[in-house]
């Protein structure tokens, strides 16, 4: 319903009323009584009144114009700042084409095939597109591309030829130049991957690449705005990234679980860390091709990366998800830049998913309590070693309030193994402060992890990991053992000759207990001669010096 206009709209401006009649004429009149000085001489009064009306009418017109312009000035300045941000950052946004070898040939007639392998050809149509962000690599002279793992899954790996049904990856830059790339490191649990660009193309020097620095999303809050730069289709065709703006509608969001997977099987129903609530929800729809888009705050900082997880059925189509570059995600990205396997914190508990209800009143706590209750702390798990007991209600981890079990999984998972984390728990009617050294989340998708560099060097032919580090090497039924786990043995090495095997658990080195790979490295490096190793099954093994 449209409101009716007043026949005379009046505005008070410094003692003068101005208005517009229904005929559209501007009407000016004084809102104050006539000053006494004008009553002295009627002729002078009339002259002065006429002059005053002219002056005030001119002033009112100027004031009205300024009032109309004033609200627009901040918007113009804001618009200009957005344009500057786009100009500074759009050159670091790239398009990634996933090209299957079978799609590089076109049949044009009997016994005639035309090979079209040039992704810069305007007629070239790749199998799939994604966006990516140029960031600094381990070598500052060689930038790398950060993108979503699902966008480059099964892509050619760094230092290896194309195998089987693997796809080749072509990266197109802002100037419509491009080069081939390979998966340098990839982590399915965070859905992040880093691509290495063809070294020959980088050495040519004509790419003029300007990577972005990782920003800090830790201080971002709901209600702040981010620019999203992506659209791989446009980048591939004309080199220009598209930009949209969205407000952070909410934080610690999660994508909908797969309805075909049982909810009690968390390892399958929640295959990435994001299902525990790591994402920002923004009020900008991100299509499937916007996976890997850059999220820039109004200070020009790269604070996150777009994900197309919201394009799945079951979520608002007008919303998008952003992976924020907070401390936990920055740690993951830094591991990938070094080419290492990403490691996640692990506690080793089973949780009661029901709301926490206190059986009787406890001073300072509501009956229905926030937090999550521990059903079991597995023997020799980090929780067991940290004195967490069944029935404990976890209230806080590292100062972060825990509202439900997913919060606990998120806060523990985003921290590195070996980190000592303060826990606030309620045991009975007593609030306790505990310190727990986290273990490593058991990896159960080794074939999907891409790591071009080794996180740990082999010592005497042995590469070890946290005792919880590999799901397939844990004893069945699942239980946790002390010590470190042997994950690799170099053939014909001292460790191999000593009769050690992949899957052995080492609990002592020369009589000293060992619980982490770092402790194992320290003890072995300090030993000049033979090593006497004690295994979890009671065996004693002597490893000669190399």
| Cα(216)–Cα(529) distance, integer angstroms | 47
257 and 298, same domain (yes or no): yes
> Which residue, of 304, 337, 370, is where some domain finishes?
337
3-class SS letters over 44-79: HHHHHHHHHHHHHHHHHHHHHHHHHHCCHHHHHHHH
Decide if 470 contacts 487 (C-beta within 8 A).
yes
Q: What are phi and psi of 316, to 5 degrees?
A: -60, 125
> Which residue, of 403, 437, 471, is where some domain finishes?
437
pTM for the full predicted model: 0.81
171 and 105, same domain (yes or no): yes
Helices (H) and strands (E) in the chain, counts: 11, 34
| Rg of the chain over all Cα atoms, to the nearest angstrom | 33
| Number of domains into which the chain is organized | 5
240 and 319, same domain (yes or no): yes
101 and 198, same domain (yes or no): yes
Q: What is the pLDDT of residue 94?
A: 93
Answer yes or no: is 167 within a domain: yes
Here the CATH number for the domain that contains residue 423 is 2.30.42.10
Q: Which of 307, 280, 309, 304 is nearest to 294 (CA)?
A: 304
Here the CATH number for the domain that contains residue 177 is 2.40.10.10
Decide if 373 contacts 402 (C-beta within 8 A).
no
Residues in the chain: 546
Domain of 470 in residue numbering reads as 456-543
Decide if 31 contacts 12 (C-beta within 8 A).
yes
177, HSE (Cβ side, Cα atoms, 13 Å)? 13
Q: Which of 493, 506, 490, 492 is nearest to 539 (CA)?
A: 506
> Which residue, of 158, 174, 204, is where some domain finishes?
204
Structure tokens at 399: 């100062």
Answer yes or no: is 250 within a domain: yes
275, HSE (Cβ side, Cα atoms, 13 Å)? 15
94 and 120, same domain (yes or no): yes
Q: What is the pLDDT along the chain (546 residues), one digit of tens a residue?
A: 334 333 333 333 333 344 444 444 433 333 334 444 334 334 444 443 444 344 444 444 544 554 455 667 888 998 999 999 999 999 999 999 888 776 555 544 445 444 555 676 666 666 678 899 999 999 988 999 999 999 899 999 999 999 888 999 999 998 888 899 999 999 999 999 999 999 887 776 667 788 999 999 999 999 999 999 987 777 777 778 889 899 999 999 988 766 555 455 555 667 899 999 999 999 887 776 788 999 999 999 999 999 876 554 445 556 789 999 999 999 999 999 999 999 999 999 999 988 777 666 676 666 667 889 999 999 999 999 999 999 999 999 999 999 999 999 999 999 999 999 999 999 988 899 999 999 999 998 788 899 998 899 999 999 999 999 999 999 888 889 999 999 999 999 999 999 999 999 999 999 999 999 999 999 999 998 999 999 999 999 999 988
Q: What is the pLDDT of residue 461?
A: 96
Decide if 163 contacts 113 (C-beta within 8 A).
no
218: left (phi over 0), alpha (psi -120 to 50) or beta: alpha
| Cα(63)–Cα(70) distance, integer angstroms | 10
Answer yes or no: is 214 within a domain: no
Q: What is the pLDDT of residue 483?
A: 95
Q: What is the pLDDT of residue 13?
A: 33
523 and 431, same domain (yes or no): no
Answer yes or no: is 151 within a domain: yes
Q: What is the pLDDT of residue 2?
A: 38
As beta bridge partners, residue 531 has: 543
| Cα(540)–Cα(267) distance, integer angstroms | 36
DSSP string, 336-405: HHTTPPP--EE--EEEE-SPEE-SS--TTS-SEESSEEEEEE-TTSHHHHTT--TT-EEEEETTEEP-SH
Element (H, E) at 307: strand 302-307
Q: What is the pLDDT of residue 257?
A: 65
| Cα(130)–Cα(151) distance, integer angstroms | 6
Q: What is the pLDDT of residue 359?
A: 64
């Amino acid at each position: 319903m449209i409101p009716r206009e007043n026949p005379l709209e009046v505005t008070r401006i410094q003692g003068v009323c101005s208005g517009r009649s229904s005929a559209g004429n501007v009407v000016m009149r004084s809102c104050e009584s006539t000053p006494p000085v004008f009553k002295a001489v009627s002729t002078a009064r009339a002259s002065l009144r006429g002059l005053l009306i002219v002056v005030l009418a001119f002033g009112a017109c100027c004031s009205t114009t300024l009032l109309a312009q004033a609200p627009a000035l901040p918007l113009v300045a804001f618009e200009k700042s957005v344009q500057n941000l786009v100009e500074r950052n759009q050159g670091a946004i790239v398009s990634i084409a996933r090209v299957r070898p079978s799609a590089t040939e076109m049949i044009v007639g009997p016994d005639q095939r035309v090979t079209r392998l040039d992704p810069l050809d305007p007629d070239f149509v790749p199998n799939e597109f994604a966006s990516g962000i140029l960031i600094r690599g381990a070598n500052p002279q060689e930038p790398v591309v950060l993108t979503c793992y699902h966008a480059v899954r099964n892509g050619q790996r760094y230092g290896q030829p194309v195998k089987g049904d693997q796809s080749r990856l072509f990266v197109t830059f802002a100037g419509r130049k491009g080069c081939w790339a390979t998966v340098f490191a990839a982590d399915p649990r965070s859905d992040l991957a880093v691509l290495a660009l063809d070294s020959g193309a980088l050495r040519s020097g004509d790419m003029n690449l300007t990577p972005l620095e990782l920003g800090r999303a830790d201080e971002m809050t709901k209600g702040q705005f981010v620019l999203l730069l992506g659209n791989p289709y446009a980048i591939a065709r004309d080199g220009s990234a598209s930009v949209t703006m969205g407000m952070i509608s909410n934080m610690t969001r999660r994508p909908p679980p797969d309805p075909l997977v049982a909810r009690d099987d968390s390892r399958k129903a929640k295959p990435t860390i994001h299902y525990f609530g790591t994402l920002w929800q923004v009020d900008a729809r991100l299509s499937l091709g916007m996976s890997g888009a850059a999220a820039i705050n109004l200070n020009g900082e790269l604070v996150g990366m777009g994900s197309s997880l919201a394009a799945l059925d079951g979520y608002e189509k007008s919303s998008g998800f952003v992976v924020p570059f907070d401390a936990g995600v920055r740690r993951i990205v830094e591991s990938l830049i070094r080419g290492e396997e990403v490691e996640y914190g692990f506690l080793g508990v089973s949780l009661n998913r029901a709301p926490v209800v206190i059986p009787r009143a406890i001073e300072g706590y509501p009956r229905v309590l926030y937090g999550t209750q521990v059903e079991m702390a597995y023997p020799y798990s980090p929780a067991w070693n940290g004195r967490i007991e069944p029935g404990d209600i976890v209230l806080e981890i590292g100062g972060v309030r825990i509202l439900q079990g997913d919060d606990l999984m998120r806060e523990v998972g985003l921290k590195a193994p070996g980190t000592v984390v303060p826990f606030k728990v309620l045991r009975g009617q007593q609030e306790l402060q505990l310190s727990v050294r986290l273990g490593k989340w058991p990896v159960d998708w080794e074939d999907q992890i891409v790591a071009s560099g080794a996180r740990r060097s082999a010592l005497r032919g042995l590469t070890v990991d946290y005792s919880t580090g590999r799901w397939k090497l844990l004893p069945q039924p699942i239980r946790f053992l002390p010590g470190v786990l042997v994950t690799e043995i170099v053939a014909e090495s001292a460790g191999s000759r000593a009769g050690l095997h992949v899957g052995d658990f080492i609990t002592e080195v020369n009589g000293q207990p060992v619980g982490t790979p770092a402790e194992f490295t320290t003890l072995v490096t300090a030993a000049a001669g033979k090593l006497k190793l004690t295994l979890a099954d009671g065996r004693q093994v002597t490893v000669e010096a190399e």
